[in-house]
Every structure is written in C-alpha cells, then in structure tokens.
Amino acid sequence: MPVIVVMSLILPRSNMVGLVTSQVRRWFASSRCKCFIVDGLSGIAMGVTLIAHRFNRLRLGSNFRTTYLNTILTFVETSKRALVYRDGNLVSGSLEALVQHMVPTEEYYPDRAYLFAFLLSARLFIKPHELLGEVCALCEHQQNLNGEGGKERLHRFVPRLVQLLAEWTETFPYDFRDERVMGHVRSITQKVAAVDAAARQEVSALLQNLLLRLTALERYEEGLARLATEAATEQLTQRFCHLVFQVDITELCPSATVLAQQLTHVELERLSYIGPEEFVQAFAKESPHLETSFKDMKKTRNLESYVQWFNRLSYFVATEVCKHAKKKQRVRVVEYWIETARECFNIGNFNSLMAIIAGLNMSPISRLKKTWSKVQSAKFSILEHQMDPSSNFSSYRSTLKAAMWRSAGATDERQRIVVPFFSLLVKDLYFLNEGCSNKLPNGHINFEKFWQLAKQVTEFIAWKQVACPFEKNPRVIAFLQASPVLTENALALASFECEPPDNNPEKERYKALK
C-alpha cells in the first residue's frame, strides 16, 4: 500500500491542526493510501510538508493527484503568511489569521492570555463590532449553525462559543455599549438557544451581569458629569478669594493619615471604572494613519476624568495654601499636605503623592519664601527624591516594583494597594501602542508588541480591582472632589497677596493680574 506522510508544523493550541489533519485524512481515505499525521513541536510558520513515497505509482487519477497536491501546496504558501512563532511564542500574523486563531471549535479553545492581548489591541485595526461579526461568520461557516449540523458536534461547540462571549464581556464590557455589538450578541443568543438549553441559561446570566456593570458605569459617569459641572461653575476667579472659603481641609479632616486614606478611596474608585481598552482607544484617536476610523468608538471619558482628577488635586492643594492670609496658617497647611503625601507613599498611593508634590511645587506656592522658611521640609525633600523625574523616574520605578512585590504576596488588604503615578503609566503605554499600531514590512501585525502592552495593562487591571479597606468619610470625599479651587491666575494673585512680589518680573505679573 502506498504511504503518504503529512507533517504539520503547527503549534498544538492552534485550531488549524484539527482542520488540516482531518481534511488531509479525508482526501486520502478514498484513495486507499495509508496516511500518517505527525505534529511538529513548533515552527517558524504554520506549514505542511508532503512526502509521497512512490507517488507516481499510486493508483490515483492524474487529475486527482494534481488537484490535491496543489491544494496542499497552496495551503503551505497561505500558512506561511498566517501566524509566525518563535521559540513557541506567537510573534506576528496577518489580521485574518489572528481572528481565526481566536475562533473556537468543538475541539479547540484559544488561550486566555492570547484572547486578552488580541481583544485589547486588535481595535487598532478592526472595530469591536466588526471583529465580533467576523467571529460569528467564521463560527457559522465552521459549524454550519445556519443549517443541518451534527448535533453532537454542535453540543460540544456551543459551550466554547459561550465561554468566548463570557470572557469578552468580563474583560472588555464597555465594548457592549455599542448597539452594533449587541446586535451580534442577540444573534448568537438566538442560535445558542436553539441548540442547547443549558447554554441559553449561561448566556442569560452573563448578559444580566453585563447589564449590571454597564448600569453602574452609567451612574458613575453621570456623577462625574455633575462633579465637572459643579467644579466649573464654582471655580474661583475673584481677587479676595480667601474671603469666600468657609471650610478648611485641616478642620474638616484634622488627621493627615485619614485624608490620605480618603484620597485612596477616590483614586481606587476612579481607577476601577477605567476600561483597559481606553488606553488603546485614547491613542488610536490621535493616530490618523491607522486603517480604521475611530470616530464612532467609545469615548475615553473615564481615563480622561482620571487625568483631570490629578490636575484638580494639585490645584486643590495650592488653593488650600493660598487661601490663608496669615503665614502661620500657611505653614500649618503646607506641613499638613507634606504629612498627607508621606502617608500616601506608605499606603502605595503614588498618584495622590505626585499630585500633592506637584501642587506644592506650583509657582504660586514655591515662591512663598517666608512661608517655606518656617516649614519643616526634610520629609518633603525625601518625597521629592522618591518621585524625581531624572533617569526616567528611576527612583519611582524602583519603589513601584517594591510595592508590586509587596502587593503580590499580601494577605492584608492594606498591603495590596498600588495606585500608580498615572501620567507616567499612560506615557509608557503610549510608546507600546505606537509599536502595536505599526505593521511589520511583510504586512503582519506585530504581536510581540501586543504581548508587551497586554502585560502592562494586566498589571493595571490587578491594581484597579483592589477594594479600598479604609473607612469611608463621604463628607471629606465630597469636599475633595467638589469644593471650589482657584484658577491659575487667581492662584497667582492670591500668592502675591500672601507675600508681595520681590522682583521685577513678579511685580509686572502682579500689575497685570490686578
């Protein structure tokens, strides 16, 4: 009996293995050839090598031999353009092959890490509703969901499709605010319900959970909008601004430790509502060379509002200092904020820490020489060193690594808190996004960059999922987020009224502001 050996250089996790080998077996079963399938351990590209022993002596028609040999060789060439592996790791691939790689079958389910990395960054090249549409089309093609199919095969496949939908809604729930995405979900639900009653219940449960998350998000965003409106209308511009302040933060919250804890409440709540995809979409909107139009993508309001919170906190710190006419009171407030910053450092709340440092370093505050001469500033100098921007924030990065190590092994919820300096995190992710959005010379998507971005965003997800263990003080939190703050010009004017200008540039500035 003639022997044909087919070697499949495809990684075991690829669903193409089953598709190719089963097809090859069917091709040669009718030709009375003995067919062996050998899976290679790895390969630079997916490929198939056909070794035919005494091929010309096979009892096959000439057209049969030519047709199937050409089919296999065509598959070889197509596969070389599909997915590329190095040392067992996926490093690049065409968009079509990467989409195919995430589609489950009755025998295959994509790796969870791959799913996250691909769903995170694929939106640089294809919109979520288009991606889900392609997944649905591939599933229908493979499983014949629209026609007669083997019931046993469908019953094995449907739970995998439901699992894919569950993981997508769990990790990227905001994608499902798009009605076009939900249209595909309804189509999937109808087809699943017709095949498997148990799966129908699972889909119903996951959609219920999704609805709860999106409803909570909507309420949160409405609250942010109200805060933004209040802050805009109450922003102070008048000259004698200190006269309008009735509440002082040191009176409302005398303990710097408690204030640091309340700041951490604000930070963790705002972090928790930032969708991981917002990092990608924020940069995508700034990249006109990308293949996809992002005008209709979900807004990145949660990420943007978090950046605005950092700026507000800095201005809030400066306002709390400048609103006091007496030097003794200003000294007390400055030392209070330094102690709060130190407590933020101890907690692992680096974003509030940096915002406080930024506020105390604003020109209207740093110029108050008489005030600073009375401040015990040794602690502040230590904190400034920890957040020193030199060498790409090397001191902070070392501290962050230590905090991450502490968090990873912590049993106490307080030890698990890591609130990163957000602006630096965004900067790091920006450069990774640049690599993700640029295709390789052969037209492949650079999946190595996808992996790198996914790793950093996965760390961020772990940080934002930590529940704040401190007792909540709603009044203090409301004051931090909604109390009036001075504009840049009002701060400068208030500073000059606290301590008169002592050089010509300051005198000119003061004259212009009056």
Q: What is the pLDDT of residue 246?
A: 65
Q: Are residues 253 and 215 in the same domain?
A: no
Q: What is the pLDDT of residue 5?
A: 39
For range 84-102, the mean pLDDT: 95
| 505 confidence band (pLDDT: 50, 70, 90) | very high
Q: What is the pLDDT of residues 326-383, one digit of tens each?
A: 999 999 999 999 999 999 999 999 999 999 999 999 999 999 999 999 999 899 999 9
Category of 390 on φ-ψ map: left (φ > 0), alpha (ψ -120 to 50) or beta:
beta
Q: 66: which 2 tokens?
A: 């030519």
Q: Are residues 363 and 509 in the same domain?
A: yes
418 vs 213: CA distance, rounded Å: 23
Q: Among 219, 237, 264, where does a domain finish?
A: 219
Gyration radius (Cα) of the chain, Å:
30
| 291 confidence band (pLDDT: 50, 70, 90) | very low
| 234 confidence band (pLDDT: 50, 70, 90) | low
| 193 confidence band (pLDDT: 50, 70, 90) | confident
Q: What is the pLDDT of residue 69?
A: 52
Question: Is the pLDDT score of 489 beyond 70?
Answer: yes
Q: Are residues 373 and 430 in the same domain?
A: yes
Give the percent of the chain with pLDDT over 90. 64
Q: How far is CA 148 from CA 160, 161, 380, in A?
A: 19, 18, 73
Q: What is the pLDDT of residue 287?
A: 53
Residue 285's domain spans which residues? 247-289+299-513
Q: What is the pLDDT of residue 77?
A: 52
Tell me if 418 sits within 8 A of 466, measured CB to CB.
yes
109 vs 499: CA distance, rounded Å: 68
- Please name the residues in contact with 30: beta carbons below 8 A apart, sequence gap of 6 or more: none
Q: Are residues 507 and 398 in the same domain?
A: yes
Q: Residue 64: inside a domain, yes or no?
A: no
Q: Are residues 164 and 258 in the same domain?
A: no
Q: Are residues 203 and 307 in the same domain?
A: no
Question: Is the pLDDT score of 157 beyond 80?
Answer: yes
Q: Are residues 341 and 410 in the same domain?
A: yes
Q: Are residues 202 and 263 in the same domain?
A: no
Q: Are residues 205 and 351 in the same domain?
A: no
Q: Residue 81: inside a domain, yes or no?
A: no
Read off the DSSP letter of residue 103.
-
Q: Are residues 197 and 307 in the same domain?
A: no
Q: How many domains does the chain have?
A: 2
Q: Are residues 186 and 272 in the same domain?
A: no
Q: Among 204, 219, 234, where does a domain finish?
A: 219
Q: 338: which 2 tokens?
A: 């330094």
CATH number for the domain including 266?
1.10.840.10
Q: By three-state DSSP, how is residue 368 classified? A: coil
Q: What is the pLDDT of residues 461-470, one digit of tens each?
A: 999 999 999 9
Q: Residue 226: inside a domain, yes or no?
A: no
Q: What is the dihedral of CA 306, 307, 313, 314, to 10 degrees?
A: 170
Tell me if 307 sits within 8 A of 425, measured CB to CB.
no
Q: Are residues 139 and 256 in the same domain?
A: no
Q: Which of the two residues, 22 and 344, has the higher pLDDT score?
A: 344
Q: Following DSSP, what letter does each residue of 285-325 receive, concatenated?
A: TT-TTSSS--TTSPP-HHHHHHHHHHHHHHHHHHHHHHT--
Q: Residue 2: inside a domain, yes or no?
A: no
